[in-house]
Amino acid sequence: MTSEQNFEGVAIPVIAIGTALLLFSLFCAGVGASPGGVLASIYTAGFGSWYAWQNSLLRAAPLMLCGLATALPAQAGVITVGNEGAFVVGGLAAAAAGLATTSGPPLLCLAAMFLAGAVVGGAWIMLAAGLQYYRGVNAVISSLLLNYIGIALLLQLVEGPMRDPDSLNFPATFPLPLSHQLGRIPGTRIHYGLVFGVVACLLGWFLLERTVWGMKLKIAGGNARAAKLVGLPLGRIVLTAGFLGGACAGLAGMVEVAAIHGRASQAISAGYGYVGILVAFLSRQSPLRILVVSLILGAVLASGGSLQRTHDLPDATINVFEGLAFLSILASEALAGRLGFLTALFKPVSTEVADAKL
Amino acid sequence: MQSSDSLGNLGILVAIAGGALRGSIPYIYVSLGECLTEKSGRINLGMEGILLMGAMTAFAVSDQSGSPWLGLLAAAFVGGLFGLLLAGITELPGVNDVAAGIAMIIFGSGLAFFFGKQFVAPMAPQLPVIDFGQGIANAGVHAALRISPLFVLGIAVAFLMHFAFERTRWGLHLRAVGDAPDAARSMGIAVRRHRVVATTIGAALAGIGGSHLTLYFPGIWSEGISGGQGLMAVALVIFARWSPLRCLAASLLFGGAQALGPSLQSAGISGFYHVFNASPYLLTLVLMVLSCSRTRRLDGIPGSLARRG
Amino acid sequence: MHGPARVEAICIGKTFGPVRALEGVNLTVPSGTFHAIVGENGAGKSTLAKCLLGFYRPDEGEVRLDGVPVSTPAEARRAGLGMVFQHFTLAPSLTVAENLVLARTDLPAILNWKKEKERLRTFLEHAPFQINLEDRVEHLAAGQKQKVEILKQLYLETRVLILDEPTSVLTPAEADEVMTVLNALVRKEALSVILITHKLREVMAFADDVTVLRRGRWVASCSVGSTSIPEISSLMVGNAPLREQSARTDMTAGGAVLEIQNLSVLGDHGLPAVKDLSLTLKAGEILGIAGVSGNGQRELVQAIGGQRDIASGEVRVAGKPFHGTRADIRECGVFTLPEEPLQNATVPGMSVAQNIALRTFDQAPTAKLGFLLDRGAIRRAATAAVERFSIRTPSIDTPIRNLSGGNVQRAVLARDLGARPPKIMVVANPCFGLDFAATGFVHNQLVELRNGGGSVLLVSEDLDELMKIADRIVVMSDGRIAHESTRAELDLAVVGRYMGGHE
């Protein structure tokens, strides 16, 4: 039974990714591009060189944080899709905190941004989680609405009270001085946001799998009635999980402001939040898998521009690839427990091999 | 804007009313489509992708064939195909429909942007306009009464859907499927078929809604054309408590709120443009908070939607 | 095709995986008779019913209606076979009229509600009971829903009606009313009835013939007039060992440990389920709460356990208010075990070991430094519990949902009564679906807890169980305590009347 599960754990993703590659190849052939060439370009642009790796890692960082934003509350039983909103308000709050502390030393300024991004992003998702727990408002829907409210808030503030009068055609806040922006890991182009992402995933795994608090969270998510039965403070657990998830998304927003743009503007809402939801589902809400899935997706995202250069395909090609991959991977969930015929095919061979060795 | 000046505040009201009628059309179609889908017990979170795909398809076909009506049909057809794909995937065991919906957004918008790149034509042939204000001298009022045929069709679809739910065998079966799938199955109703058909038709409606974006003034295709209107479908249906007629009313309300922003701007009040644009979302959220409670489920919600966490 | 039909099931056999659910079962129901099928849990009654209806295709044998073979649900439906299930098959947010119309197989594509309502009203004029057509089903009481189910079958002109434990959700009065109606319909030659039940009193009062199943095999068929309750019981049980009597020590109950004062709790639909209820549990006693399910017992247990909000009133343990928080539970030693433990008391996707640790994982030795989880300690504790409570599981890492019902029950009891038994145990229907051995085991555990000075609040629908182990029994009816007596003074007839809410 365990060996069957292991077998499925490998076979299902392989089948899903194979299907996605096949469908995408057909799509490429259909629009007159060479499937092999396009896939090779995606690979090269994602993992082909140290330069490509850095590109992929840069894009993986926000995905890790945004994946956790859905995964942590989901482990406690609340599905939220408010990553984009939390990302944006986190970035906005970080910009405000950063601009308020530019007179201080850089480290203090960054700490203020870190805190502001995490706390505001955390509060954002905590609100959706709390509304579901205390008022029965479906968190998928409320957090979806909060995305729009968050983006409107960003636009309103960068075009109004927080606007830098010099940002003419593209309204934005005042820029942070370069000295107060989030720096790069020495010897690379990769900013410290990647460290935040990796540490958050590892910490998330540790919390969930190795601590008392993580077990409480998983009990609450696994069966709320049983959690209440054994006296766990369900409301507090749900709120905390929502807060931690939102804090990750807010932190991603802070990184976007502090390391990429140096200021807040509409440009920080680049859709990482939405992709993060899928990262979480594809990773089955597990932090360690999020680490891997984010890296792969980061590479795919990084290759968008290169397809235009090398194959004269629009950057949206990569969205088509993503869409096909997501749909095949989601559909492949249905294969769980249904691969018996394949194991039957493989088993006799493996026993023979085992016998031969004996 | 001269007309607004000549009519003063009334001019603003007329402009809002006209804007509400125009702006409500995509909402009408996505909300009716979502309403139909949810009546069967499924959620389609991917309406945004389908709306974009509909907009691009309508533009492309209208541009290539010269017939906007063919564009409209093509948009509905492509929308239906997407619905069929989503329904097929969510009928598989163990597939989460929230995730599948978001995957549809990425897939739909990706395909729409991919093929849309070639359609740099500034304007495709447009749908004709029905002029309800013939003979009215005031230009502002006249402009507000030049109505898209899709608005009239949308109203017809809403009443037809209401009739179908209340007065037809299919509608009764569909409501039973959404309310208690096991009970429906035990009565010999084909649960899956009803859900697939409802999701497909619902998505086809969203495709039609998309065609309005490119086949009506200003009538150009751009990647930001939907402005997230497809994502509002789910919220609108909740706001309308799963009734097609209330979907119609809610769409007009949201269209009006959307029209309020530019109108205020044209009247010189532009301070809260974005907040105003977001007011429907805020309003929906507040209404949901007020009408839900832990012990009471929303009135009118299909049972199989209410029962999941 | 009107009027009752004759049903025959000939030598039915059905296997699910390794389980032989039915073997060589014969059943003959002559046209226009009322036939009861009885048997213990797992005897194959429901499987047989599903074979009759074509939902399951038997591996051997065949089902005939008036001599014509029936093998698919559609054929069964056309032939006039209809079924009322244990659970309701109504769409709750639709009205009664919509539900009845929904069931029609010859419904036109466009509904003429005026005509449909007219038809329904004409039908109701001759129906055995009345119901408001415009009511939404979700607002009906359980008894009314059951009546709608039966009306639906009559409306469909069913010729053979199969009912699977139809009275388990009804009060005795409601149950008798429904049974009387069915009996009258059979007498009027309107239909044949096949009743699946374990309530032998109903069999004796309303059925013509009875068939006894045991472990998937046919045991006996006879007319009700030629048999007796004791005879049927012994046929059902066969030569299984008698329930072993738990060793009760005589002890006088001590002071009050759990006091429920003027408690009111709302049910799922916001209606009062527990109404101003007061109750005192003493040290060293088992207090039984009898009653038909659906009279507020579930809500009472959930309210005590902190799973449901209290509308008014108070639960006090050892004189102090008890809110069911983890600290309260630990300090006062109050454990609650609701019915259907897999859904209500475990995390189905977590392993057996983790589920056994549910009450203790945040304390030493499984918690180190107050926050680190020692997974080794959890597994060691689970291994010991599996041994001591004879939980049959492939491994302690198996998800608990893969265990059989009896073993899930053993696992939760191991958790609650194992290493650190509580002072007070609140438990609901702990032996639902368990075999004799497991039932005896559970009873022994509860009695041992009591013998050791602990207290048990035992909610049960099984009067035999209460009479066997409870020291004191109260009857709960319509959210209130209707009657109280000690074990020695217990008068079954009186208790039955109070259960029905007659007094």
Task: Name the average pLDDT for chain A.
Answer: 88
Residue A65 is predicted with a pLDDT of 97
DSSP state, residue C127: S
Q: What is the spatial distance between Cα B33 and Cα B80, in angstroms, rounded to a whole number?
A: 10
- Do A91 and A183 share a structural domain? yes
Q: What is the pLDDT of residues B215-224, one digit of tens each?
A: 886 778 888 8
Q: What is the pLDDT of residues C351-385, one digit of tens each?
A: 999 999 999 898 888 888 888 989 889 999 999 99
* Section B48-63 average pLDDT: 94
**Most confident by average pLDDT, A196-205, C338-347, C368-377:** A196-205
If one compares B232 and B280, the residue with the highest pLDDT of the two is B232
Look up residue A36 and give its two tokens. Answer: 């092999």
- Do A338 and A303 share a structural domain? no
* Section C258-283 average pLDDT: 88
Cα-based angle C226, C228, C233 (whole degrees, multiple of 5): 130
Q: Is the pLDDT of residue B273 over 90?
A: no
* Section C221-230 average pLDDT: 85
* Section C4-16 average pLDDT: 84
- Do A150 and A115 share a structural domain? yes
**Confidence label for B229 from pLDDT (cuts 50, 70 and 90):** confident
Residue B285 to residue A134, Cβ atoms within 8 A = no
**Confidence label for C245 from pLDDT (cuts 50, 70 and 90):** low
**Confidence label for A357 from pLDDT (cuts 50, 70 and 90):** very low
> Does A327 contact B at CB distance below 8 Å?
yes
Q: Which residue of C has its CA nearest to B177?
A: C91
**Confidence label for A203 from pLDDT (cuts 50, 70 and 90):** very high
**Confidence label for A342 from pLDDT (cuts 50, 70 and 90):** low
- C358, C375, C379, C402, best to mutate vs chain A, most A CBs in 10 Å: C358
Q: Is the pLDDT of residue A348 over 50?
A: no
**Confidence label for C70 from pLDDT (cuts 50, 70 and 90):** confident
Same fold for the domain at C7-237 and the one at C256-499? Answer: yes
Task: Name the average pLDDT for chain B.
Answer: 84
* Section C167-178 average pLDDT: 73
Q: What is the spatial distance between Cα C208 and Cα C493, in angstroms, rounded to a whole number?
A: 25
Residue C239 is predicted with a pLDDT of 55
- Do A227 and A172 share a structural domain? yes
Q: Is the pLDDT of residue B309 over 80?
A: no
Indicate the CATH number of C7-237 among 3.40.50.261, 3.40.50.300, 1.10.3720.10, 3.30.9.60.
3.40.50.300
- Model's pTM, two decimal places? 0.82
Question: Which chain A residues contact residue C350 at CB under 8 A?
Answer: 218-219, 222
Torsion angle defined by CA atoms of residues B143, B146, B148 and B152, in that order, rounded to the nearest 10 degrees: 130
Q: Confirm whether A298 is domain-assigned.
A: yes
- Do A89 and A18 share a structural domain? no
**Confidence label for A355 from pLDDT (cuts 50, 70 and 90):** very low
Residue B148 is predicted with a pLDDT of 87
DSSP state, residue B232: G
Q: Is the pLDDT of residue B2 over 50?
A: no
Residue B291 is predicted with a pLDDT of 72
Task: Name the average pLDDT for chain C.
Answer: 84
Residue C169 is predicted with a pLDDT of 66
Residue C240 is predicted with a pLDDT of 46
Rounded CA Rg of chain A:
22
Structural domains counted in chain A: 2
Residue with tokens 């006996």: C220
- Give yes or no for a contact between C97 and C116, defined as CB atoms under 8 angstroms apart: yes
Q: Is the pLDDT of residue A275 over 80?
A: yes
Q: Confirm whether A182 is domain-assigned.
A: yes
If one compares C199 and A309, the residue with the highest pLDDT of the two is A309
* Section C29-35 average pLDDT: 91
- DSSP letters, C214-271, are ETTEEEEEEEGGG--HHHHHHHHHTTPPPPPPP-PPP----SEEEEEEEEEEE-TTSS
Q: Which domain holds residue A338?
A: 1-33+315-358
- Give yes or no for a contact between A158 and A265, defined as CB atoms under 8 angstroms apart: yes
Q: Is the pLDDT of residue C34 over 80?
A: yes
Cβ count within 10 A of residue B104: 29
- Do A16 and A70 share a structural domain? no
Which among C89, C105, C110 has CB closest to B186?
A: C89
- Do A223 and A76 share a structural domain? yes
> Does A317 contact B at CB distance below 8 Å?
yes
- Do A191 and A95 share a structural domain? yes
**Confidence label for B271 from pLDDT (cuts 50, 70 and 90):** low
Q: What single letter denotes the amino acid at residue C502? A: H
**Confidence label for C445 from pLDDT (cuts 50, 70 and 90):** confident
* Section B192-217 average pLDDT: 94
Q: Confirm whether A43 is domain-assigned.
A: no
Is the complex ipTM more than 0.90? no
Residues near C156 by Cβ (< 8 Å), separated by ≥ 6? C82, C103, C104, C105
Strand partners of residue C123: none
* Strands C7-16 and C19-29, bridge-based pairing: antiparallel
Look up residue B169 and give its two tokens. Answer: 């065998």
Q: Which residue of C has its CA nearest to B172?
A: C102
Residue B234 to residue A141, Cβ atoms within 8 A = yes
Q: What is the spatial distance between Cα C207 and Cα C451, in angstroms, rounded to a whole number?
A: 43
**Confidence label for C242 from pLDDT (cuts 50, 70 and 90):** very low
> Which of C40, C33, C36, C27 is closest to C204 using CA atoms?
C36
Q: What is the spatial distance between Cα A22 and Cα B21, in angstroms, rounded to a whole number?
A: 45
What does the domain layout of chain C look like in residue ranges? 7-237, 256-499
* Section A255-275 average pLDDT: 90
Residue A349 is predicted with a pLDDT of 40
Q: Is the pLDDT of residue C241 over 50?
A: no
> Does A137 contact B at CB distance below 8 Å?
yes
* Section A257-270 average pLDDT: 90
- Do A220 and A87 share a structural domain? yes
**Confidence label for B29 from pLDDT (cuts 50, 70 and 90):** very high
Residue A320 to residue B309, Cβ atoms within 8 A = no
Q: Which residue of B has its CA nearest to A338?
A: B93
* Section B129-150 average pLDDT: 78
- Do A114 and A25 share a structural domain? no
- Complete edge-to-edge strand list for the sheet that includes strand C320-321: C272-282, C256-266, C312-317, C320-321
Q: What is the pLDDT of residues A78-108, one digit of tens each?
A: 999 999 999 999 999 999 999 999 998 999 9
**Confidence label for A350 from pLDDT (cuts 50, 70 and 90):** very low
Task: Read off the CATH number of the domain in which B247 is found.
Answer: 1.10.3470
Question: Which chain B residues contact residue A151 at CB under 8 A?
Answer: 278
Residue A53 is predicted with a pLDDT of 93
Residue A226 to residue C358, Cβ atoms within 8 A = yes
Residue A358 is predicted with a pLDDT of 31
- Do A76 and A6 share a structural domain? no
Residue C73 to residue B188, Cβ atoms within 8 A = yes
Q: Is the pLDDT of residue A247 over 90?
A: yes
* Section B56-82 average pLDDT: 94
**Confidence label for A165 from pLDDT (cuts 50, 70 and 90):** confident
Q: Is the pLDDT of residue C248 over 70?
A: no
- Give yes or no for a contact between B225 and B119, defined as CB atoms under 8 angstroms apart: no
Q: What is the spatial distance between Cα A213 and Cα C151, in angstroms, rounded to a whole number?
A: 53
Beta strands in C295-429, from DSSP E residues, in sequence order = 312-317, 320-321, 334-337, 367-368, 372-373, 424-428
Lowest-confidence segment of A27-31, A227-231, B274-278 by average pLDDT: B274-278
> Does B175 contact C at CB distance below 8 Å?
yes
Q: Which domain holds residue B141?
A: 2-306
Please tell me the CATH code under which domain C256-499 is placed: 3.40.50.300
If one compares C13 and B33, the residue with the highest pLDDT of the two is B33
**Confidence label for C237 from pLDDT (cuts 50, 70 and 90):** low
Q: Confirm whether A48 is domain-assigned.
A: no
Structural domains counted in chain B: 1
Residue A319 to residue B288, Cβ atoms within 8 A = no
Residue B3 is predicted with a pLDDT of 44
Q: What is the spatial distance between Cα C49 and Cα C54, in angstroms, rounded to a whole number?
A: 9
- Do A132 and A20 share a structural domain? no
Look up residue A167 and give its two tokens. Answer: 């940002």
Residue C371 to residue A228, Cβ atoms within 8 A = no
Residue with tokens 């636009």: A155
Residue A218 to residue C350, Cβ atoms within 8 A = yes
Residue A352 is predicted with a pLDDT of 34
